[in-house]
Structures are given as structure tokens and as C-alpha cells.
Chains A and B, each alone.
Chain A
Amino acid sequence: MTNLIVNKFKQRNFLIGFIIILAVLILIGIYKPHVLTEGLQRSCLYALITLPMALLLGVVGIINLAHGDYMMVGAYFAYWLNVQFGMDPLVAVIPTLFVFFIFGIISYYVTFKHVIGKPEVNQLLLGFGLSIVLGQAINVIATNQPRKLSLDYVSSSMNIGGFQFGTFEFIYVAGALIVLIGLHLLLKKTRIGQAALAVGQNPRGAKVVGININWIYLFVFALSIAIIGAIGPIFGTRNTIFPEVGLAYTFKSFCLIAVAGIGSLTGVLWVSLILGISECLVLSSINYAKWSEMIFFGMLIGVIMYRSHQRQVK
């Protein structure tokens, strides 16, 4: 592992890029330290939300356009648990994880199972429809009135040498690292993880060597839903929830994956950092704050155009 890092440093381009990024971060840290802390937290929220989709898309090649909506349902679930039973959302992560694993299994059997192996547009349309159904179902059950949990600890902060920053959001950082490392271990060290990688690379070949590909698709899908569902409560601690809240995140997650490269989990973290910190940078300058959303689109369009041009030259 250290060899890998040392070798990377030896590549001149990597070294230059690393120094530039480090310099930029230091500058930001000096002039606008809030951007660093908030940027880090925001990045990790993006990464956290993106990782389950990266798992599903990168490992077994399924695109679920209803991804963010599962998170939304998870958030509403936790909200309900809080209102009904007074359960703290962070505690609710555990039951949500299990409930959504089952929810994922059911979803898979009812919907995605039927479009595996079919043209991609079928998966896209199915996800699109599922996204509408989930959003509208919540709309009917809970109306589209935005809701917010008021919890005391979310405004906790810390003071280092006169610089005050919020500490609660570091839970996103912790969450992102836990999920990233957890998925890495799952894929590299467990049999089912290895099987999943095999299925993703060559479903027919995997079948031939005896892997039950249906079980693998089911497992990875349900896992993806379980994780994103469990992120819902975490998301709901700090953000207002409403039925359409998930859409933007589905979208951003896909874009992060597109930029990082399908199949790369760690890449998602790096790209999220760039996106999160850039967004905070723009938000912090009052004149341009309303353009913060554009950074994200700019990045997406730029990368896709680059990839498209690459493809042309094959």
C-alpha cells in the first residue's frame, strides 16, 4: 500500500497536481477557514450519498435513478420514528438499515429484476418511474409540506484559537469513511464481494463458474438500498425534508460517479472533495453565491465532453 503511494509520488504529474492542491487548500485555510471545514463536511455528505450508487453501478452495472428517493423515504421513516417513538435519528440508522435491506429485496423482485440484461434505457426509465412513485407516495401519505427535526446537538460547535466551526457535520466525514472502508473490505476480502466483482465484469462467465448471479444482483441491490436508506436519518438530522429532496442528490451522485469513473469508489471521495470545497468557496463570496449550483454542472459537462471526445478517438 505504501509502495503504491510512493510510486504515485514519483510520477511527476501527480506530484505537481498534489502540490497545487495542497497550496490551494492552505490558502483557503488561511483566508476562509470556514470553507475548509464546511467544504469537507459537505463533500463527505455527497460522497456518503454517492457511494451506494457507485457500488450498484460500478460493481454490477445497475443504474437506479430512484437512488435519492430511497434516501428521502429513509429520512421520512426516521422522522416518523422520532415523532411516534421519540427515537433519535442517529439511533434510528440501525433499524432503518435492516428495514431498507428488506425494502431493497422487495423492490428488486418487483421491479429491477425484470430489466437485468435488457437495454439500458429500460433501467433508466424504470428508475425514473420508480422515483416518481416513491416521491408521489410520500406526497400522498405525508403531503409535501417540508419537515425538519429540531435536535439540539446538531448545532454543536468547537472553537480553536478563535475560529469557530460546526462539529456535528463531521459525522458525514465519519460516515463516508466507514462506508468506503466497509465496502472495500466487502469487495476485496469476502467471498460474496469477490463474486459481485466477477458478476459485474462478466455475468456469463460468473454463471459458468457456479456463481448464482441472481442472488448477487439481489444482494448488491438490497445492500445499496439499505445503505442509502440508512443515510436518510443522518441526512434528516440537519436538512429539511420534502418529497422531491432526493432528486437533486440522485443526479449529483451520478455526476460524481461519471467524473470519478464508474467502478472507482475511492475516486468518488476525491471528486466529492473537489466539488464540496468549490461549492463552499463560491457560496462564501456573496456576489456569486447563487451560481454555486453551476459549478457542479460545469464539472459534469466538462468531464462528459472530454470523455466523449476521447471516445471519438477510441
Chain B
Amino acid sequence: MKYWKYLIFAVCVLIAISLPKFLGVYPLQILNIVLIYVALALSWDMLLRSGQMSLGIAGSCGIGGYTAVLCTINLGLNPLVGILIGSGVAAIIALLVGYSVLHLRAMYFAIVTLAVTEIFRILVRNFEITGGPEGIILPNAIFKGDAAGTYWLMLAIGVFTIILSWLFQKTRIHFALTSTANDEIVAASSGLNIFKYLVIVFVISSAIQGMVGGAYAQIYGFVTPESSFSVNFTLLPIIMVLLGGTNSTWGPVIGAVILTVLAEALKLVIPYGHLLIFGVVMIIAIIWFPGGIIGILRKGGVQAHH
């Protein structure tokens, strides 16, 4: 039946877990970045499936990052616990924001998420406790910077997100998201509480982003307003999803892998301007391939079932 897919996935995960035995530090670091963006891209797509788009990935990441660092430094908590709390705080803020504005849609919601990102960036820059413009540096990176340890952490987050994305496509959430995206009036007339589901998905999506942000901060050992709330966290996952294919689990994964590898390769060739190429790719993707790579595969008859 379809169980062979889960089997293949399990095998891949096992292989992935064993990679630190064979790979050096640099490839593992690249994989870390891939996993970061896999998680971010998937989390963005999960909300996109409802027809709503968030432009505030960087915000949730930054909130998660700062919270995790503050927990470690000020409360002396275990870094892993800090990451979880960071995820929780990002989720709570998403709950407040979503509850307040998710009666509005599309444009307004997207811009509000952008605004929230900026608000928090300004907040952390202006307060002493968050280190002001210079940010905070951790005395120790998590696992003392051990490449394998940080890799396994990111792998766990990545796999967790993939599984979550799958669940979103197998459970009633899939019906809620798809019907909301297709026709809100029909959805509401069939008894769906659209607002509730949008808030739930937005909160979960932000929680993942907060987790990634927390992990990022702990792995690299610092947070600053510019780097923790970097626009790359918002922009790159979006391009990856558009490239790889929206409304699927493998689309964002493929997009994340391709783009990260490409970015690394380009960085070696042209020191700057790779973002320009990405921007052009994004525009081309929106205009000509709104379904991304997965869309092309599907049209070509290859059944890519999530």
C-alpha cells in the first residue's frame, strides 16, 4: 500500500542520523542550514495551504532566538529547554496577533505579520535586557559547538516538521485548510469555524519557526537585532516553497535543498548578487510556475502524493 513510502522515509532518517560518522564539519554545517530552511519553508507552506500568507517568519525566528538565549543566560536553563520556551513564546505571540487580526485576510494579515517582525526588532534593539543593538553573546554554544550534536538537533527539528506537515495533509486539518483556501463561504456553510483553524495553523507555524530560531541562536551562540530578525529568514523559505512547489511536503524540502546548495555554490563564484538571482527565480516561479517543481512533476503525470 502506501506504507512503502513511510518505510523509505524511515530508512532515509536512519541514514541521516548516521551521517556524522562519514561527513566532516563543513558538510554537516551545510546540512544544518538545509535543515533550518526545510523547517522554515515547510512551516510557511503549512499556513499558505489555507490561502493566507505570513511575511513574518523572521519575527517568529527572532522571538524564539532571543527567548532561548535569555532563558539560558538569565534563568540558567538548559539550552534545549530554552529552545522549547522560545518556541512557546513565539506561539503565544502568534496567538495574540492571530486572534486580533485573522478576521482580515490576505494583504492585511501579511502586512501585519511584517509589522510584528519590525516591532520586535525595534523592541530588542531598544532595551538593555536584550542587549541593545549589539545583542547578546552566549558564553557557550549548545553542545559546546559539537558538529554532530548540533546536526542531530536540527535533524530532529527537521524531521519533526516534515512529520507535522504530513499530518496536516492526512487529518481533518487538510480539509479545513483546503476548503478555506478554495471557498470560504462554502467552508463556513458546511460548519467550519474558519477563524479557529486559521489561528491554530498560524500558531503551529510560528511555533516551528520559533523553535528553529531558538536552535539557530543556540548553535551559533549569539543574537542580534539584525541577524536574528534577518529578512533572509522570511525571504528564502518563500522562494524555496515557490521553487519546490506549494501545498506539498516534498516541494518545500526539494526547494530548500536546491536553494541552499545553490547559494553555497554561488557564494564561491560571485561574492554578492546571489540574492539577485534568487529574486529573479522567485519572479519567474510566480509568473510561470506557480506550482513549482512539484507542480511540473504533477502535470507531467508523475503522481507526487505529498
Contact with B along A283-314 (1 / 0, CB 8 A): 00000001101100100110011011101100
Query: Least Cβ distance of A183 to chain B in Å?
Result: 21
Query: Is the C-beta of A201 less than 8 angstroms from some C-beta in chain B?
Result: no
* B12 contacts chain A at the CB level, 8 A cutoff: no
Q: B282 to chain A: which residues have CB within 8 Å?
A: 125, 128-129, 132
- Chain A, Cβ-Cβ closest to B53: A121
- Interchain CA distance A131-B111 in the complex, whole Å: 15
B126 adjacent to A291 (CB under 8 Å): yes
Q: Which of B253-306 contact A (CB under 8 A)?
A: 272-273, 275-276, 278-280, 282-283, 286-287, 290
B103 at the A interface (CB under 8 A):
yes
User: CB distance A140 to B238 under 8 Å?
Assistant: no
Asked if A133 and B276 sit within 8 Å, CB to CB, the answer is yes
Which of A129, A305, A308 is packed against the most chain B CB atoms within 10 Å? A129
Judge if A206 is at the interface, Cβ distance under 8 Å: no
Question: Is B112 an interface residue when CB atoms closer than 8 A count as contact?
Answer: yes
CB pair B119 A307 closer than 8 Å: no
Q: Tell whether, in the assembled complex, residue A297 and residue B111 are in contact, meaning their CB atoms are under 8 Å apart.
A: no
Q: How far, in whole Å, are A140 and B273 apart by their CA atoms in the complex? A: 6
Which residues does chain A contribute within 8 Å of B103, judged by CB atoms?
308-309, 311-312
- Which residue of chain B has the shortest Cβ distance to A119 in the bound complex? B51
Interface bracket on A: 35 or more
When the two chains form their complex, are residues A304 and B101 in contact, meaning their CB atoms are under 8 A apart? yes
Q: Is the CB of B283 within 8 A of A129?
A: yes
**B290 adjacent to A122 (CB under 8 Å):** yes
Contact with A along B109-123 (1 / 0, CB 8 A): 011101100110010
Q: Is A126 an interface residue (CB 8 A)?
A: yes
Look across to chain A and name the residue whose beta carbon is closest to the beta carbon of B104.
A308
Given A140-B272, A290-B126, A308-B100, answer yes or no on A129-B279 (Cβ-Cβ < 8 Å): yes
B-side interface mostly: helix
**A51-68 interface mask toward B, CB cutoff 8 Å, 1 = contact, 0 = none?**
000000000000100000
> Measured between alpha carbons, how far is A304 from B102 in the docked complex, in Å?
10
Interchain CB contact (< 8 A) of B111 among A125, A139, A258: A258
Identify the closest chain A residue to B276 (Cβ). A136
* Contact, CB under 8 Å: A301 / B126: no
B242 proximal to A (CB < 8 A): yes
The interface residues of chain A lying within 8 Å CB-to-CB of B100 are 301, 304-305, 308
Are B286 and A122 interface neighbours, CB within 8 A?
A: yes
User: Do B272 and A139 have beta carbons less than 8 Å apart?
Assistant: yes
The docked-state distance in angstroms from the alpha carbon of A130 to that of B126 is 31
Q: Which of B129-144 touch A at CB < 8 Å?
A: none
Residues of A within 8 A of B242 (CB): 125
Residue contact A255 to B115, C-beta cutoff 8 Å: yes
Interface, chain A (partner B; CB < 8 A)? 63, 111, 114-115, 118-122, 124-126, 128-133, 136-137, 139-140, 251, 254-255, 258, 290-291, 293-294, 297, 300-301, 304-305, 307-309, 311-312
Interface on B for A, CB 8 Å cutoff?
48, 51-53, 55, 100-104, 106-108, 110-112, 114-115, 118-119, 122, 126, 235, 238-239, 242, 272-273, 275-276, 278-280, 282-283, 286-287, 290
- Which A-B residue pairs are the 5 nearest by beta carbons? A132-B279, A136-B276, A129-B282, A133-B279, A120-B106
25 A-B residue pairs with Cβ-Cβ distance under 8 Å, sorted by A, are: A63-B107, A111-B287, A119-B51, A121-B53, A124-B110, A126-B287, A128-B55, A128-B235, A129-B239, A130-B279, A130-B283, A133-B279, A136-B279, A139-B272, A251-B111, A255-B115, A293-B122, A297-B122, A300-B111, A300-B115, A301-B112, A304-B101, A305-B100, A307-B108, A308-B103
